[in-house]
Amino acid sequence: MSNSNALLVALRQINRAIDLQSKKLERETGQTTPQLLLLKALEKDGRAKPSVIAKSVHLSHATVTSIVDRLEKSGMVTREKSEDDRRSVEIVLTDKGRTCVENAPELLQEDFLVALSKLEPWEQNLLISSVQRIAVMMDANQIESAPILEIGEI
C-alpha cells in the first residue's frame, strides 16, 4: 500500500471511530457529543455564563447558544438571570441534565487523551505537528472546532 493510501485509510478509520462513538453517545444519552460536552462544562458549578462556556469548550458564542437552545428544549438546562448582574443570563444545569452527564459513557477523547499522555513529550509533539499539517493540507485549519471528537451537525 502506498504512503498516500495508507494515510487516507488511517484518516477514514479515525473518522469512522469518531462517528461510531458519537452515535453510541447519542443512542445511550439522547444527546450529541457537543451537547454532552456543554453539560460536562456545567457539571462542576452547575451554572455559567454562555461566554464562559464558549471559552471552556472552544466554540463560538453563537454555536453555544444554538446548543443551549436544544438543551433547554429537552429540559437539560435552563436560562436564569445572573445573581451578580441581573442584566446577564446564566445557563443552569437541571437535575435531568446532571443525571444525563453522570450516566453518560466516557467521551472518545477522554480515552484518547489518557493514551496520548502516556507517550513521551517528543512523540506527542510529533503527532500534534503532523496532524496540524494534515489539517492545513485539507484546508481544515480555518474551520471552527472544539477539542471534541464529533462529526456531523453540531
Reduce the secondary structure of the chain to three states and give it as a string.
CCHHHHHHHHHHHHHHHHHHHHHHHHHHHCCCHHHHHHHHHHHCCCEECHHHHHHHHCCCHHHHHHHHHHHHHCCCEEEEECCCCCCCEEEEECHHHHHHHHHCCCCHHHHHHHHHHCCCHHHHHHHHHHHHHHHHHCCCCCCCCCCCCCCCCC
Domain range 3-137, its CATH number among 3.30.390.50, 1.20.120.80, 1.10.10.10, 3.30.559.10: 1.10.10.10
pTM of the model: 0.72
Q: What pLDDT was estimated at residue 149?
A: 46
Domain residues of the chain, as ranges?
3-137
- 47-79 pLDDT, tens digit per residue, is 999 999 999 888 889 999 999 999 999 999 999
